[in-house]
Structure 1
Amino acid sequence: MALAKILWVDDEIESLQSQKLFLQGKGYEVHTLTNGFDAIDYVKENPVDVVLMDETMPGITGLETLTKIKEVNQSIPVVLITKNETENLMDDAIGSQISDYLIKPVNPNQVLLSLKKIIDNKRLVSEKTTSAYQQQFRNLFMALNSNPNYNEWMDIYKKLVYWELEMSKADSPEMSEVLQQQKNEANNEFFKYISRHYAGWVKPKAAESPIMSHSLFQFKVLPHAEKGTPLFFILIDNLRFDQWKAIQPVFADNFRIAEEESFYAILPTATQYSRNAIFSGLMPIDIEKKFPKQWKNDHEEGGKNLHEEEFFREQLRRLGKGDLKASFTKVLNHQAGQELVNNIHNLLQNDINVIVYNFVDMLSHARTEMEVLKELANDEKSYRSITASWFEHSPLNQALKKIADKKINIVMATDHGSIRVQKPAKVIGDKETTTNIRYKHGRNLNFEPKDVLAFRDPAEAGLPVPNVNSSFIFAREDVYLCYPNNYNYYANYYRNTFQHGGVSLEEMIIPVVRMTSK
């Protein structure tokens, strides 16, 4: 069976018979022609994997033929074979989208290497990735089973994201499945780890804890605020680490990535808790004590994130930075995004500018409710792709491009991630019980202990106690919580949607990235 179909076009094709035989010996099917006109007609009628083409032929040149071939089929790779390497010719050739060029006289192995590079590239990448992951599999397995601490967990998750991104390029379903199983195992171990350590982290006098939502601003944002160099703190709601990696190249076009780290979102990994914690610098139980009028529990009426700017300015004062000139911009729709683009230059006179951008969260909620988005973002790979496409064309990217030539610092972070849920679990509660899919709180909750991390006393998790006998439960791994009434309907409705609020690597270990002007 032939490896691939090659069309070789050269007016001196007779002198290349030995080359043709060499390629046929390697399994390629080689068809030869002596002029560009015949080549154009041939590709109209026949499937071709690669065209090898002489540049100087009588009648119509190789470059002219190349242009016509691309009009017939844009995706056919063309290798130009030329006697000279003049700069103009190379510029024209590259501008006309050649896949490679070779200088005469060509050596058979040179041609073979060029074909392998073009035809086998995907297969070779896939094989190399698969083999590299196989070697890493054991190291990851050992890391998972060596009682990792919170820093090592962040490292394990980064590695899993790295391999997930590599596998999505390699297109190897079997190895992707192995990686998915390893991710599931990691989430299982991570759930046990969080169950053992979380309450200790949130104690006011915890001996050691990671940087979490409520300490992010103090330790990862404020140290980069200085008079004279505007700092932009950009919080993109609900951005997983793999989604950050998808938009990173767009940022890297205009900014230098100085530091890429991660931190832990507090529980529940939900906007009203984690984002208020970031801007206030306090755990929710302390926000409620300090701002009793502004804090709203889940079952209370009214917006849950209406006072972030007030919390943020109070935190600046508390940390002795009340003299910094600060702005707070929230972008909840496209019009507000356009206003940001128009106003971005005015923000340069401030010491610190907070921009909260709410696209990814809207996407995950809309994906649950709209069939067309379920189709467009039916797995992690397509979810990343939509996020990248959104960011590239977003007002946020436009606004940042407008100030990319100015001396600025950027810290980009998020409030929590999300996980694609697969396993429904039953929860029974009274009518006050919250409706969230990944966490619930209420009185007298009835649930299967193996499915959740439960806090009978919310204060142990740094959370307000809305009622006597209130408890909080957080779903583990890819579990989602449904009520018994109409259970099958909701189990099917929410299966395979991206949700947040619970305990998983994807929701809790999230990016914080520092960038500077180039």
Structure 2
Amino acid sequence: MVKARLLWVDDEIDLLKPYILFLEEKGYGTQCVNNGRDAIELCRSQRFDIVFLDEQMPGLSGLDTLVELHSSYPGMPVVMVTKSEDEGIMNRAIGKKIADYLIKPVNPNQVLMSIKKILEQDERMTEVLTQEYHDLFNLLIGEIEDCRTPDDWISVYKKLVLWELRLDQTQSPLREMLAVQKAEANRLFAKFIRKNYEQWIIGGTDGFGPDRPVLSTDLFERFVFPSVDKGEKLFFILIDNFRFDQWQVVKDVVGECFTCREDIYFSILPTATPYARNAVFSGLMPRRLSEMFPDCWVDESEDEGKNLHEELFIKSHLERHGRKCNFSYHKINRSLEGEKLVARFAELEKYDLNLLVFNFIDLLSHARTESRMIRELAPDESAYRSLTRSWFLHSPLPALLAKIAEKGYKAVLTTDHGSIRVKKGVKVLGDRETGVNLRYKVGKNLGYDPKRVFDIIRPENAGLPSPNMSTRYIFAVNDDFFVYPNNYNHYQSYYEDSFQHGGVSMEEMMIPVIFLEPRL
């Protein structure tokens, strides 16, 4: 039985054979590559318990390889191996959170001691986490069952996400226990939404308080207008389909430039871009938006793009609330577009308010459904978070945020909705005009089991358009998704474990909004 799987990266690969034989005799499986690029590629397809990384290599250096590995696999231990005793090199390596370092020539027993130290540390960490989680388990059950307000649910969701992130660093069976507990929380959260959602909408902004959360339509009033009213320049950055756990894995990067005041708000239903993002930018529920801008609202059955008028909605929103600030609006679908925007940063400084939409996470979510390669790169939530961090680090966002902070400007970083990894197909019936979204359906002839969905029979009570007198909306709850009976097994298999949005879950509805103040 192999005790652990090791990867050794060194351009002098022929000199490693004695070490490999020694480690294999001790029960450790070891693979070798002679450059950083191959190491990064190998880590994408295989899991290693420890990476031994030569500091001096041609091409991609050891430190540069370390940065790449740490950005994509922050929990993977890396041991730096170097010929140099230069203190500066070691300080930079340690600053990148290496697990250990060895100075050549390396004695095989030194390698063995390093392995044992790291693995035993992981075992101790697992033991501590196991004890802590067992101590908290029953308390969390009680908190989940006692949730009565949005703030209660926000508190529980934050704790569940925190534990997901902590357990990402281990192979503990507690991850399965936590998944079960989170599924139960989502079941009860759906009941909470069924009971309260329509009342939140009917009550409007007068319903603020413990019984009504901040919704998509309130975001500008809460997080944009206060800065505008003070005459402060503000950058409003919206990453489409950006979950709270995904924010947690990049917050350290943002925190290098800003102090972060994080909060959670509730996306309106459906938790999908045409509804939720338009509500953010317009400050209007979809029904009111369709009445005020009939030429801009696109019904579900139409193929036309449903987010083509965001700049108009922003302008109207500001004017309705008496804010006369000048603003710019930019939608970024590719890294090159973002890089060009950063290069033209001086132009953005002319505006009081700059609004930027980054679509990558949503594109990644859809690509993961369609692409086998992306599915293999992100088979679960942990890998999905890791892929998000990797994108974030290599996107134009860190450079943009650094510019904003350098100039002393404030920013809001948020999203329009989240997503959930779906598991179970629920059969529904619909006509040709019924939409294709897997987490919600809109139609006048829907057939479904009312016990398995959250249905809205009177769309006006939920602030939703009603193209026909008999239009109704249904939303998937928990980790379900909608499948038509024809060829059910094929679509169940095709969409299972894909990330979808539009329905009712903590991951889709409770989403981050972070106010950023530059560090002085």
Aligned pair 1:142/2:142, yes or no?
A: yes
Q: C-alpha separation between the residues in 1 aligned to 2:207 and 2:152?
A: 18
One-letter identity of the residue aligned with 1:47? L
Aligned pair 1:127/2:127, yes or no?
A: yes
Q: C-alpha separation between the residues in 1 aligned to 2:438 and 2:402?
A: 38
The aligned counterpart of 1:179 is: 178
The aligned counterpart of 1:22 is: none
Aligned pair 1:241/2:217, yes or no?
A: no
The aligned counterpart of 1:47 is: 23
The aligned counterpart of 2:432 is: 431
SS of 1:170 mapped into structure 2: coil
Report if aligned partners of 1:129, 1:170 keep a CA contact under 8 Å in 2: no
Q: C-alpha separation between the residues in 1 aligned to 2:224 and 2:346?
A: 21
The aligned counterpart of 1:255 is: 258
Q: C-alpha separation between the residues in 1 aligned to 2:220 and 2:150?
A: 19
How many residue pairs match? The answer is 450
Residue 453 to residue 160, structure 1, CA distance change in 2 (3 Å): same
Post-superposition CA distance 1:128-168 (Å, at most 9, x none): 11211111112211111114311110110011000000011
Residue 424 to residue 229, structure 1, CA distance change in 2 (3 Å): same
Q: How does 1:359-370 map to 2 (within 5 A)?
A: 359-370=360-371
Deviation, structure 1 residue 290: 1.1
The aligned counterpart of 2:414 is: 413
Post-superposition CA distance 1:230-271 (Å, at most 9, x none): 2110000000111111121221122221x1100000000000
Residue 119 to residue 492, structure 1, CA distance change in 2 (3 Å): closer
Report if aligned partners of 1:411, 1:515 keep a CA contact under 8 Å in 2: yes
Residue 223 to residue 371, structure 1, CA distance change in 2 (3 Å): same
Q: C-alpha separation between the residues in 2 aligned to 1:165 and 1:470?
A: 41
Post-superposition CA distance 1:110-143 (Å, at most 9, x none): xxx9997544221111111121111111221111
Q: C-alpha separation between the residues in 2 aligned to 1:343 and 1:433?
A: 43
The aligned counterpart of 2:215 is: 212
Residue 125 to residue 67, structure 1, CA distance change in 2 (3 Å): closer
Q: C-alpha separation between the residues in 1 aligned to 2:259 and 2:249?
A: 16
Q: C-alpha separation between the residues in 2 aligned to 1:441 and 1:355?
A: 30
Q: C-alpha separation between the residues in 2 aligned to 1:395 and 1:67?
A: 28
Deviation, structure 1 residue 189: 0.3
Deviation, structure 1 residue 93: 5.7
Q: How does 1:7-18 map to 2 (within 5 A)?
A: none
Q: Percent identity?
A: 43
SS of 2:431 mapped into structure 1: coil
The aligned counterpart of 2:395 is: 394
Deviation, structure 1 residue 336: 2.1
Q: How does 1:7-406 map to 2 (within 5 A)?
A: 43=19, 45-47=21-23, 94=91, 118-172=118-172, 174-205=173-204, 207-208=207-208, 209-225=212-228, 229-257=232-260, 259-322=261-324, 324-406=325-407
Aligned pair 1:512/2:488, yes or no?
A: no
Residue 96 to residue 388, structure 1, CA distance change in 2 (3 Å): closer
Residue 101 to residue 349, structure 1, CA distance change in 2 (3 Å): same
Q: C-alpha separation between the residues in 1 aligned to 2:90 and 2:390?
A: 30
Q: C-alpha separation between the residues in 1 aligned to 2:17 and 2:432?
A: 73
Report if aligned partners of 2:54, 2:80 keep a CA contact under 8 Å in 1: no
Q: C-alpha separation between the residues in 1 aligned to 2:55 and 2:298?
A: 65
One-letter identity of the residue aligned with 1:180? A
Deviation, structure 1 residue 291: 1.0
Post-superposition CA distance 1:436-484 (Å, at most 9, x none): 1000011121101121100111111110001121110000110100111
Deviation, structure 1 residue 226: 5.2
Residue 454 to residue 343, structure 1, CA distance change in 2 (3 Å): same
Q: C-alpha separation between the residues in 1 aligned to 2:241 and 2:20?
A: 48
Report if aligned partners of 1:278, 1:415 keep a CA contact under 8 Å in 2: yes
Question: Which structure: larger Rg?
Answer: 1
Q: C-alpha separation between the residues in 2 aligned to 1:454 and 1:143?
A: 27
The aligned counterpart of 1:11 is: none
Q: C-alpha separation between the residues in 2 aligned to 1:388 and 1:148?
A: 34
One-letter identity of the residue aligned with 2:286? P
Residue 45 to residue 484, structure 1, CA distance change in 2 (3 Å): closer
TM-score by length of 2: 0.80
Residue 92 to residue 191, structure 1, CA distance change in 2 (3 Å): closer
Residue 310 to residue 100, structure 1, CA distance change in 2 (3 Å): closer
Q: C-alpha separation between the residues in 2 aligned to 1:44 and 1:171?
A: 25
The aligned counterpart of 1:497 is: 498
One-letter identity of the residue aligned with 2:248? K
Larger mean Cα displacement after TM superposition, 396-405 or 491-500: 396-405
Q: C-alpha separation between the residues in 2 aligned to 1:211 and 1:136?
A: 29
Residue 501 to residue 41, structure 1, CA distance change in 2 (3 Å): closer
Residue 117 to residue 319, structure 1, CA distance change in 2 (3 Å): farther
Q: C-alpha separation between the residues in 1 aligned to 2:80 and 2:194?
A: 58
Q: C-alpha separation between the residues in 1 aligned to 2:18 and 2:271?
A: 59
One-letter identity of the residue aligned with 2:350? Q
Residue 68 to residue 414, structure 1, CA distance change in 2 (3 Å): closer
Q: C-alpha separation between the residues in 1 aligned to 2:496 and 2:207?
A: 40
Report if aligned partners of 1:230, 1:349 keep a CA contact under 8 Å in 2: no
One-letter identity of the residue aligned with 2:188? E
Q: C-alpha separation between the residues in 1 aligned to 2:17 and 2:55?
A: 9
One-letter identity of the residue aligned with 1:210? P
Deviation, structure 1 residue 492: 1.3
Deviation, structure 1 residue 45: 4.6
Post-superposition CA distance 1:4-39 (Å, at most 9, x none): 9xxxxxxxxxxxxxxxxxxxxxxxxxxxxxxxxxx9
Residue 69 to residue 119, structure 1, CA distance change in 2 (3 Å): farther
Residue 166 to residue 344, structure 1, CA distance change in 2 (3 Å): same
Residue 41 to residue 484, structure 1, CA distance change in 2 (3 Å): closer
Report if aligned partners of 1:215, 1:278 keep a CA contact under 8 Å in 2: yes
Larger mean Cα displacement after TM superposition, 341-350 or 278-287: 341-350
* Stretches of structure 1 lacking an aligned partner (at least 5 in a row): 5-38, 50-65, 81-87, 103-112
Report if aligned partners of 1:231, 1:351 keep a CA contact under 8 Å in 2: yes
Larger mean Cα displacement after TM superposition, 330-339 or 462-471: 330-339
Q: C-alpha separation between the residues in 2 aligned to 1:340 and 1:284?
A: 31
SS of 2:474 mapped into structure 1: strand
Post-superposition CA distance 1:187-229 (Å, at most 9, x none): 0000000000000000144534110001111112221235664
Residue 517 to residue 207, structure 1, CA distance change in 2 (3 Å): closer
Q: C-alpha separation between the residues in 2 aligned to 1:449 and 1:376?
A: 36
Q: C-alpha separation between the residues in 1 aligned to 2:458 and 2:146?
A: 31
